Amino acid sequence: MSEAASPRIRKTMIFVLLALFLGQFGSGVYDLIFSNFLRDAQHLDVEMRGFIELPRELPGILSLFVVSLLFMFNEVRMAGVACLLMFGGMYALAFCGAGTSLWALSAWILTVSLGQHILMGMIDTIVIHTARPENRSLRLGQMKALGTAAALLGALCVWIKWKFNQSFAVDFFVTGGVCLLAFLFLSRVKTPVFPQRRGWRQCFVFKRRYAVYYGLEILHGIRKQLYLTFGFWLMVSTLGQPPGYIGKTLLIAGVIGLVTQPLIGWSIKRYGERKVTIFDSIALSLLCLAYAFAPELLPLHWAVGVVTACFVLDNLLFALGMARSTYVARICEKPEDITPSIYTGLAINHVASITYGVLGGVIWMNTGGPQAVFLIGGLATAGAGLVARHMDEQGRNGA
């Protein structure tokens, strides 16, 4: 963070970035093995896979309330709490065998996911608060690249590890330990000053001024499920790909993302959030068509290739979502609004995400294929482009 005010704070922020790297490594490995864990260790079908999104996505809503209860902590300390939650949930999942009740499984998935969602928002707010307003998209792009490097290392580790050991428990033990290390780092550093909130009520921000941002978050919640749930499930279940193949695919996406994510940050600064978000909408709509019809119309080996290419592009396009964070930070009325506004958007995002996770699983099960799930998702991504046309390009840029 070149904007840091002193060498001491720069040194502190480097330490914070190292801890965030470790947290994102643990979170990335968990996401990578999650679908295979549910199918191979817990033997869930696609309908139950959709319903398990409730404990996985509910923390996106709960995180708003948890962050409000932690108002006495600054953003770095809250990131430490997030890593501690991930550690506890992952270690519990390491002991979950095939006979584990759905309630217990859901509780530990919820714990990990709560940590992930708190960390997700805190990373953006830490960057936004420590960067100059005009450089926020650049710094977010660099931070996304750091997160991609963490995921890249995680994918490489899973790929190699699964050649010699196919135990999910080992994966959870190792990644949980990494998250614990991140917590220890974040709990000990002296952090730069962040906006102070005088009470938990200041952590709830819902204003008409941010309506376009909220609309984009609703539609992104649906879009997110297309990749994180149904894209993974298409690869694992319909196309029968093992964790090693998923790991290699994400490895390729990660290598490309190391280059593209800083460029995306630059493109947001150069062209603005509105144009970038509209481009994202068009690209995702085309990907949804490929997801929907490639497995049905193409031979298996061609379908695997096309869906893999879509999977990589989908992964890369996720970075365009940082335009929403820079947009709401730019139009915020005061710095104290930034963190709670991002978490309000995150909560709204996850209401849509949970709804479509459950609905999509039922649709897939009843139609016998992925077409309807991805076509409905394609309509949602097209809708995001229409909403993006109303983004304010003359915001404050000084919050």
239 by Cβ neighbours in 10 Å (0-12 / 13-18 / 19+) ranks as middle
Q: Please tell me whether the overall predicted TM-score, pTM, comes out greater than 0.85 for this model.
A: no
- Residue 356 CA to chain centroid, in angstroms? 16
The pLDDT value recorded for residue 3 is 55
- Residue 384 covered by a domain: yes
DSSP state of 58: T
Q: Find all residues with CB under 8 Å of 132, minimum gap 6, and list them.
A: 3
- Residue 91 covered by a domain: yes
Flag residues of the chain having pLDDT under 70: 1-11, 46-47, 49-50, 71, 97-99, 191-204, 394-399
Residue type, position 101, single letter: S
Q: What is the CA radius of gyration of the chain?
A: 20
Write the CATH number for 131: 1.20.1250.20
Whether 46 and 247 have beta carbons less than 8 Å apart is answered as no
**Residue closest to 253 by CA, chosen among 351, 147, 122:** 147
- Residue 213 covered by a domain: yes
- Residue 178 covered by a domain: yes
Tokens for 178, please give them: 């990494």
Count: domains in the chain: 1
- Residue 366 covered by a domain: yes
Whether 9 and 192 have beta carbons less than 8 Å apart is answered as yes
The pLDDT value recorded for residue 50 is 65
- Residue 169 covered by a domain: yes
- Residue 173 covered by a domain: yes
| Residue count (the chain) | 399
Region of residue 144 (left: phi > 0; alpha: psi -120 to 50; beta: else): alpha
- Residues of the domain holding 151: 7-388
DSSP state of 200: G
- Residue 395 covered by a domain: no
